[in-house]
Chains A and B, each alone.
Chain A
């Protein structure tokens, strides 16, 4: 079948509660670099509803990072509007945006971005500090968040004492501590091995399924995108594809098929033994 020259946005079914958590309306973003003007986004219109799990994909320069920056209220559209939970953020000052980020958004980064030499608990507490919450309440909420990701027993550990997967889980707990409307994840599995990546996707899927947390995730790995429910693709600053994931991966199932750490170690030991045997025979 010939490729359509004009890509189309395939229809999805809008959920019953028709008010979107995220609404981008004709959003343009232009970067002025002196002589050259870079159009990072060209007229993007997008709606994301409560409870959705969306993966944003695209090659570099496609505008997917720019979209995440705008969704995260770290950057403002040059033209067009962004409605977050019904609020038009276009006219807001930097301080107002900061407050909004604090209340409504949770961030998870590829490189974890935890504070070094600081306990996991204190790391998770960080957003509550800027929310003006009292110290005792802050600690309580942070513990609650850590428990949700299963790391309550590591509350006192520093990032250097935690594995990559555990650090990312702390980062997720941090993102959740103010009970935001949306969790924005930028390549959350980029620095993790395959098994840990699936474990993280498991947590995200659980949060989405059981607690109805809206998740928007940027990734360049097609496999990771299959854990989401909906994939949107950007290319050259425009939204090209917007589809419901047909053969969704369920992390819990996938985990069962992957070798555990012990099985992995056993496999390595077998390999080493085989190598030595071959080397011994070659020496004869």
Chain B
């Protein structure tokens, strides 16, 4: 019997008991729906992270002191004292691919104003840092190059610090203490909100790097350099020349590891992508367990169905159905159930993810791959879990079946 015929027979058989068919599909619907929703939300989260990274500037080149290659950028900091402002200037002079650069070093400090105090990170940098990071002030201004030259006790603060220390006052022009030192507020930075890893980006204070080096940390080196290349290709092309320049300046022999870490936009994006993907597929894998359960549900119901329809199977065999005909019919019924369940699950999953994304103001990203995978899995579940009941049906003895009560 050809496929279309079998399919029509199967469809009619399923339609005879709509309630049961619907309940059987429920497991698959939930399983597929969960997987699709999780993956779509994950993709959306990933997209938001990528956007955050892109906002830093696609031409960004980030150089960190220390060569800890294990994992994330953050582990690049610490202990190494060889990265300096002179390195930065050398890069600016000798590598035309790099348009501008700003130094960076930070640590946590206790800050006090009146009877308010707070513990936050104080970062030393230069005025062009805020250009490179596309971070404007919402009031006041950034400290100037002159103030850097003078190592003046001035700073710009983020909105969180402003709200906590200067509760109802305008911070501009006010003096407060960082550690034991008085600092004047030159400006308040525009709010950036939460970072993609959940950090409050407004809980910051920036001061001239000279001031931070000499007066707050008492060191002559840097933790990192934020640079910006002339173009995105330039940022990628700059990695090699910066590497050899720094290795030369730091007198590193061949065979020794770099004592610095260079990350371009692309690297950061890749890392974030990897992390997000891993998380997404992990969650998706867990959600797939419910797909398995759905398959077991199908098998159970089909077994019950075969038993209930024993007489019917007997009649079909009597009027000419072969074992193969009966097996195909039940197998197609199972696959039809699982595919239909899969389709409904995909639709519901997409709706669900759209709703949740709306709540969290993330974009909903429909992963074509996930949908195709879900469709395949649904079919596979149907075939795998439908096989045993179909076999049972096909192997019934027609005489016994016709006598069945």
Contact = CB atoms under 8 A, between A and B. Distances in A.
Nearest to A184: B318
Contacts of A113: 311-312, 314-315, 402
A207 interface: no
A190 to B, nearest CB: 14
Interface stretch (B81-89, B242-250, B321-329): B321-329
A130 B402 contact: no
A170 to B, nearest CB: 13
Contact of A101 (B9, B318, B402): B318
Candidate in A99, A116, A129 with the most chain B CB atoms within 10 angstroms: A129
A115 B319 CA distance: 13
A117 interface: yes
A160 to B, nearest CB: 12
Nearest to A98: B322
Interface residues of B, number: 24
Nearest to B321: A130
A67 to B, nearest CB: 12
Contacts of A131: 320
Contact of B319 (A95, A102, A122): A102
A75 B399 contact: yes
B322 A94 contact: yes
A132 B319 contact: no
B402 A98 contact: no
B317 interface: yes
B322 A126 contact: no
A132 B16 CA distance: 23
Interface string A100-139: 0111000101000101111000100011011110000000
A126 B317 CA distance: 11
B12 interface: yes
Contacts of A132: 1-2, 5
Contact of A72 (B16, B311, B318, B323): B318
Main secondary structure of the interface of B (DSSP, over half): helix
Given A122-B12, A129-B5, A130-B1, A99 B322 contact: yes
Contacts of B297: none
B393 to A, nearest CB: 14
A222 B317 CA distance: 30
A67 B355 CA distance: 67
Nearest to B319: A127
A74 B9 contact: no
B399 A98 contact: no
A101 B322 CA distance: 10
A118 B12 contact: yes
Contact of B16 (A98, A99, A117, A126): A117
B184 interface: no
Given A113-B311, A132-B1, A126 B316 contact: yes
Contacts of B57: none
A107 B323 contact: no
A130 B399 contact: no
Contacts of B315: 107, 109, 113, 115, 126
Interface string B1-34: 1100100010010001100000000000000000
Nearest to B2: A132
Contacts of A98: 317, 320-323, 325
A130 B311 CA distance: 17
Nearest to B16: A117
Nearest to A138: B5
Contacts of A75: 399
A178 B402 CA distance: 21
B276 to A, nearest CB: 50
B402 to A, nearest CB: 7
B323 A130 contact: no
A99 B318 CA distance: 10
A20 B365 CA distance: 74
A19 to B, nearest CB: 24
B398 interface: yes
Interface string B162-173: 000000000000
Nearest to A69: B399
A116 B399 contact: no
Interface string B215-251: 0000000000000000000000000000000000000
Contact of B320 (A99, A115, A117, A118): A99
Contacts of A116: 16
A101 B324 CA distance: 15
A74 B398 contact: yes
A107 B16 contact: no
B319 A107 contact: yes
B21 to A, nearest CB: 12
Nearest to A126: B319
B399 A101 contact: no
B396 to A, nearest CB: 12
Contacts of B1: 129-130, 132
A64 interface: no
Nearest to B323: A94
A74 B311 CA distance: 14
Contacts of A81: none
Contacts of B2: 132
Given A107-B315, A113-B314, A132-B1, 14 more contacts: A72-B318, A74-B317, A94-B323, A98-B317, A98-B320, A98-B323, A102-B320, A107-B318, A109-B315, A115-B16, A118-B16, A127-B320, A129-B5, A130-B322
The 5 closest A-B pairs by CB, nearest first: A102-B320, A130-B320, A127-B319, A98-B322, A95-B322
Interface of B: 1-2, 5, 9, 12, 16-17, 311-312, 314-325, 398-399, 402
30 contacts: A69-B399, A72-B318, A74-B317, A74-B399, A94-B322, A94-B323, A95-B322, A95-B323, A98-B320, A98-B323, A98-B325, A99-B320, A99-B322, A101-B318, A101-B319, A103-B320, A107-B315, A113-B312, A113-B314, A113-B315, A115-B16, A115-B312, A118-B12, A122-B12, A127-B320, A129-B9, A130-B325, A131-B320, A132-B1, A178-B320
